[in-house]
């Protein structure tokens, strides 16, 4: 819409610049050359008149001193030179009176020239006048040469020429300059038009792309076809568009993740809430008459409440960890002791599931850096999973081995295992391998909490699994180097 205006303004500026340059160049150069040419022609003409005037004066000297040539011959000489030089030639005697003239029988013959004109030349020095001549009524160039004989001045020869040949040449030159100026103006206009188009097109394209970008389209790129500043601008613009596109994409992804998270949370909250509502409504309506039934309803409601409690705690933990508000208190700790204690705690659950739970024989372990409560939380999550996803009669084993600057803790089960394509995803929030079997009670937050917690300890998590045979989940904790008690090192 305003692109045409950009081009027009650019065109105007360029044209103005060109015109100023053209006008200044023409007036200075043209004026100077006109002046020089005019001066040169004038000088040439003056010189010629002077040289020829001396020649005539030499001839006329004989006549004025009363010898050869005679009056007729002198007249012929004057006429001849007058023709050749395109000049009026007058012979003046010592008193300043014109006695012969070319052309012949001119009315000036017999008249006295003003003393102003004759005084200098009759005292023996050649003279020149140029400018308006009242005798001719127009500008004339006049050269006067004294006629001498034996150092005596007998008279003078006057040669008058008009300026018209010089003027014609100068006029021609001026016309030439005028035409070339016109040509320069035409070329300037064409060039300004071409350049303004060339310059404006990429700028217009950039501006259009910027408008597109403002509307949220970051895919558009400007065609870069020049290596100048405009091309550079286009390149920079494209780079910016790419970076902004990436940022916008990341924001979009974050936004959709947040939306998905809210949906997941709502979903996880609704299931237990719906169940509890059903039970509580039945109780309030007095539909359950026998005390045993009533107790069962209440017990299930309590269970759902606990489940909700756990879910909310997990969510809180996760959000605190992600916003960096949950810090771990790292201290040197004895891992073996913690493993035994935690497994002991979970024994009743294992018994309930009819799964064998044990700590494998441990090699000597160095102390590790950890927050005991959080390490226990990690372990409980992993063992809980192992017990939950292992059918009755299976076996779960907790082990630990030193590994470089760390200790690796692993939880191995003989459960259903995880398909290879799922192994990466199970660490995501709310991810459950099989939604239908999720009724086993999980919400899909456990492993994301584990991953975050291990990360806070400076360790890594990993899982390997053979579907149908079992899985091994493991994580590393750093050795407490400076704090090491020394037992079992190396
Ligand atoms: N030892 C395992 N064997 C087989 N599948 C497992 C094992 N551990 C985790 N999984 C799969 O990974 C999913 C994610 O586990 P995670 O601990 O994050 O969630 P959950 O156990 O379903 O719920 P929560 O732990 O939050 O109560 C589980 O739903 C399960 O499908
Ligand atoms: Mg779990």
User: Does ligand 1 have an atom closer than 6 angstroms to the CB of 389?
Assistant: yes
pLDDT top residue among 22 and 477? 477
For residue 386, which atom of ligand 1 is closest to its CA? Answer: 1
The pLDDT score that the predictor gives to residue 6 is: 74
Number of domains within the chain: 3
Q: What are phi and psi of 474, to 5 degrees?
A: -145, 160
- Residues 233-260: tens digit of each pLDDT: 888 999 999 999 999 999 999 999 889 8
Q: What tokens does 320 get?
A: 């605190």
The pLDDT score that the predictor gives to residue 241 is: 92
CA 55/CA 159 separation, integer angstroms: 12
CA 160/CA 144 separation, integer angstroms: 9
Burial 46-57 (b: 16+ CB within 10 A, else e): beebbebbbebb
CA 372/CA 334 separation, integer angstroms: 9
For residue 390, which atom of ligand 1 is closest to its CA? Answer: 3
**pLDDT cut 90: percent of the chain above it:** 62
Residue 14 belongs to a domain with what CATH number? Answer: 3.30.450.20
Q: How far is the CA of 433 from the centre of ligand 2 (A)?
A: 11
User: Does ligand 1 have an atom closer than 6 angstroms to the CB of 443?
Assistant: yes
Question: Which one-letter DSSP state was computed for residue 359?
Answer: E
The pLDDT score that the predictor gives to residue 488 is: 44
Residue 365 belongs to a domain with what CATH number? Answer: 3.30.565.10
Q: What tokens does 323 get?
A: 């916003």
- Regarding whether 453 and 427 lie in a shared domain, the answer is yes
Residue 297 belongs to a domain with what CATH number? Answer: 1.10.287.130
CA 109/CA 71 separation, integer angstroms: 13
Q: What tokens does 327 get?
A: 């810090």
First to last CA, the chain: 77
Report, as an integer, the average pLDDT of 76-92: 93
pLDDT top residue among 109 and 105? 109
- Residues 159-196: tens digit of each pLDDT: 999 988 788 888 998 999 899 989 999 998 899 889 88
- Residues 107-157: tens digit of each pLDDT: 889 999 999 889 999 999 999 988 888 888 888 999 999 999 888 999 999
Q: Which helix (H) or strand (E) holds 98?
A: strand 98-102
- Determine which residue's CA is closest to atom 25 belonging to ligand 1: 446
Handedness of CA 21, 27, 32, 38 (dihedral sign): positive
CA 456/CA 382 separation, integer angstroms: 17
- Determine which residue's CA is closest to atom 31 belonging to ligand 1: 433
Q: Do the domain assignments include residue 291?
A: yes
Q: How far is the CA of 350 from the centre of ligand 1 (A)?
A: 16
User: Does ligand 1 have an atom closer than 6 angstroms to the CB of 426?
Assistant: yes
The pLDDT score that the predictor gives to residue 438 is: 47
Domain closes at, from 114, 147, 168:
168
Hey, how many other C-beta atoms are within 10 angstroms of the C-beta on 58?
A: 14
Mean pLDDT across the chain, nearest whole number?
90
- Regarding whether 244 and 147 lie in a shared domain, the answer is no
- Residues 12-22: tens digit of each pLDDT: 888 899 889 98
CA 162/CA 167 separation, integer angstroms: 9
- Regarding whether 239 and 163 lie in a shared domain, the answer is no
Pocket test for ligand 1, best of 271, 318, 389 (most atoms within 8 A of CB): 389
Does the structure show a pLDDT above 90 at 408?
yes
For residue 312, give the ligand nearest its CA. 1
Helix intervals (H) in 26-159:
31-64, 71-85, 115-122
Q: How far is the CA of 385 from the centre of ligand 1 (A)?
A: 5
Q: Do the domain assignments include residue 126?
A: yes
User: Does ligand 1 have an atom closer than 6 angstroms to the CB of 445?
Assistant: yes
- Regarding whether 147 and 275 lie in a shared domain, the answer is no
In angstroms and rounded to an integer, the radius of gyration of the C-alpha atoms of the chain is 58
Q: Could you identify the residue written with the tokens 């290879």?
A: 420
- Report whether 483 contacts 467 (CB < 8 A): no
pLDDT top residue among 4 and 340? 340
Q: How confident is the model at residue 436 (pLDDT cuts 50, 70, 90)?
A: low
pLDDT top residue among 215 and 487? 215
Instruction: Of 306-315, 429-438, 473-482, give the lowest mean pLDDT range.
Output: 429-438
- Regarding whether 113 and 30 lie in a shared domain, the answer is yes
pLDDT top residue among 204 and 94? 94
Helix intervals (H) in 285-328:
291-322
For residue 310, give the ligand nearest its CA. 1
Report, as an integer, the average pLDDT of 396-421: 96
- Regarding whether 357 and 314 lie in a shared domain, the answer is no
Domain interval for residue 259: 230-322
- Regarding whether 145 and 94 lie in a shared domain, the answer is yes
- Regarding whether 442 and 316 lie in a shared domain, the answer is no
């Amino acid at each position: 819409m305003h692109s045409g205006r950009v081009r027009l303004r650019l065109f105007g500026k360029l044209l103005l610049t060109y015109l100023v340059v053209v006008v200044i160049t023409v007036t200075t150069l043209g004026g100077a050359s006109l002046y020089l040419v005019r001066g040169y022609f004038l000088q040439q003409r003056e010189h010629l008149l002077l040289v020829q005037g001396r020649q005539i004066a030499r001839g006329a000297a004989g006549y004025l001193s009363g010898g050869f040539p005679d009056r007729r011959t002198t007249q012929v000489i004057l006429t001849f030179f007058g023709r050749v030089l395109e000049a009026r030639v007058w012979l003046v005697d010592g008193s300043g009176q014109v006695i012969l003239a070319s052309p012949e029988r001119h009315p000036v013959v017999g008249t006295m020239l003003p003393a102003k004109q004759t005084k200098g030349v009759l005292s023996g020095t050649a003279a020149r006048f140029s400018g308006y001549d009242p005798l001719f009524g127009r500008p004339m160039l006049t050269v006067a040469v004294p006629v001498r004989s034996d150092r005596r001045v007998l008279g003078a020869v006057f040669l008058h020429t008009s300026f018209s040949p010089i003027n014609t040449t100068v006029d021609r030159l001026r016309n030439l300059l005028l035409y070339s100026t016109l040509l320069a103006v035409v070329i300037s206009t064409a060039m300004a038009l071409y350049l303004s188009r060339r310059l404006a097109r990429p700028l217009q394209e950039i501006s259009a792309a910027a408008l597109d970008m403002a509307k949220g389209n970051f895919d558009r790129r400007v065609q870069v076809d020049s290596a100048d500043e405009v091309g550079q601008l286009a390149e920079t613009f494209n780079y910016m568009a790419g970076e902004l596109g990436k940022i916008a994409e990341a924001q979009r992804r974050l936004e959709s993740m947040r939306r998905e998270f809210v949906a997941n949370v709502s979903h996880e909250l609704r299931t237990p809430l719906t169940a509890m509502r059903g039970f509580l409504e039945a109780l309030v309506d007095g539909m359950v008459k026998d005390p045993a039934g009533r107790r069962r309803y209440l017990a299930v409601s309590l269970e759902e409440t606990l489940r909700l409690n756990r879910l909310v705690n997990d969510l809180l933990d996760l959000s605190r960890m992600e916003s960096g508000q949950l810090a771990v208190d790292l201290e040197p700790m004895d891992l073996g002791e913690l493993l035994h204690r935690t497994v002991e705690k979970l024994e009743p659950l294992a018994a309930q599931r009819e799964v064998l739970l044990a700590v494998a024989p441990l090699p000597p372990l160095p102390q590790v850096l950890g927050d005991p409560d959080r390490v226990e939380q990690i372990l409980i999550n992993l063992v809980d999973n192992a017990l939950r996803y292992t059918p009755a009669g299976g076996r779960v084993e907790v082990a630990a081995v030193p590994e470089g600057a760390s200790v690796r803790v692993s939880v191995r089960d003989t459960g259903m295992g995880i398909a290879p394509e799922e192994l990466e995803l199970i660490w995501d929030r709310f991810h459950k391998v099989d939604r239908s079997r999720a009724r086993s009670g999980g919400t899909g937050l456990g492993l994301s909490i584990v991953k975050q917690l291990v990360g806070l300890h400076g360790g890594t998590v990993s899982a390997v699994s053979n579907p149908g045979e079992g899985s091994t989940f493991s994580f590393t904790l750093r050795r407490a180097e400076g704090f090491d008690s020394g037992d079992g090192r190396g």
